[in-house]
Amino acid sequence: MVERLVPLTHSERYLPVGAEALEGVNPKEKIAVTVYLRRPPERPNLPDPDRVELTAQPIVSDEEFAAAYATNDADIDRVIEFAQQAGLNVVESSAIKRSIALEGTADKLQEAFGVRLQRYRRGSEIFRGRSGPVNVPEQLADIVEAVFGLDDRRVGAPQLRRSRRVAAAIGLPTARASGLPANTYLPPTVAQMYRFPPGTDGAGQRVAILNFNDPDSHGGYAVDALKVYFQQVLGLPLPVITDVVVHGQGNDPGTDDGSDPFDTSGEVILTSKWWEAAPLKPRS
């Protein structure tokens, strides 16, 4: 008996303007997806950072967090049973992450989730896409919240935009923690909140920061700007930074003054300031 499929709420996808349909997806193409599960209704919501003072929240262990917020094992078992019946491989399941990683061929995934996958071109990008909702068996509709990975269109985009006027008005902050808006903290303060051991220097550890530059615009970090932030704002030495270019122009900082609306430099340096100032600083 074929189970009735129903659409997942908020799972609709629409093709971007200007997308040109190409060939269908190879039915034997291997695709990895992640199924995200609900928070059990009997368990509490996570604290809303806009409504509570984070420093006033008690520090909980991994075990305590899992007991309070993880999904039910029974829900995981029901989704795994569905996946196996659909001919999909279960790669990983995690109650605390409320997710199940699956892998299967395109034809089996399309049948399992009631979608049609196709190749599209938009500008210089060729991607696997879909339109409409993702579908699941009716018995799983109240368990599964989302299915990620069926399409691989580019979704990352810089969020930080500066106009000339705003950029001219913004300077590097001179205060360390005073004068910041509520629930806004510099990295060393966050380290204290999470009780990182003092003196941790991250020896033997590395942190990777991914940047997706627009091919026709600038994006990157300036070492001098990071040096000012670390030395004058945080009072920390500048970490060792190693560029690894996977594709594209690599580190190519722009002026970040608002003259180029596609310049991602502001977002790149913002991310770099956070992660490289964390207690586990990267070493080459």
On whether the CB atoms of residues 33 and 11 are closer than 8 A, the answer is no
| Sheet with 99-105: strands ordered across | 89-94, 99-105, 30-37, 144-148
- Predicted pLDDT at 117: 95
- Predicted pLDDT at 174: 35
Domain ranges of the chain: 5-148, 156-284
Give residue 245's identity as a one-letter amino acid code: V
Nearest to 129 by CA among 150, 148, 109: 150
Whole-number Å distance between alpha carbons of 130 and 115: 7
Whole-number Å distance between alpha carbons of 77 and 93: 9
pTM here is 0.59
On whether the CB atoms of residues 118 and 129 are closer than 8 A, the answer is yes
Q: Provide the token pair at 32.
A: 């990895």
Task: Tell me how far CA of residue 89 lies from CA of 8, 82, 83, 176, 230, in angstroms.
Answer: 22, 11, 7, 49, 46
Q: Which residues pair with 34 in a beta bridge?
A: 101, 148
Decide: residue 282, CB within 10 A, 0-12 exposed, 13-18 middle, 19+ buried.
Answer: middle
Whole-number Å distance between alpha carbons of 113 and 111: 6
Residue written as token pair 């196709």:
118
R_g (Cα) of the chain, nearest Å? 23
Whole-number Å distance between alpha carbons of 50 and 184: 11
Whole-number Å distance between alpha carbons of 83 and 109: 9
- Predicted pLDDT at 43: 78
**Full DSSP string of 110-171:** HHHHT---EEEEETTEEEEE--B--EEEGGGTTTEEEEE-S-------------HHHHHH--
- Predicted pLDDT at 26: 95
Q: Which residues pair with 37 in a beta bridge?
A: 144
Whole-number Å distance between alpha carbons of 84 and 104: 10
On whether the CB atoms of residues 220 and 252 are closer than 8 A, the answer is yes
Give residue 133's identity as a one-letter amino acid code: P
Tens-digit pLDDT string for the chain (284 aa): 457 899 999 999 988 888 999 988 999 999 999 999 998 887 777 777 667 666 566 677 778 888 888 899 999 999 999 999 999 999 999 999 999 999 999 999 999 999 999 999 988 888 999 999 999 999 999 999 999 999 988 776 655 555 444 444 433 333 334 566 666 777 777 777 777 777 776 777 778 877 776 666 778 888 888 888 888 877 788 888 888 887 777 888 877 776 777 777 777 777 775 555 554 333 33
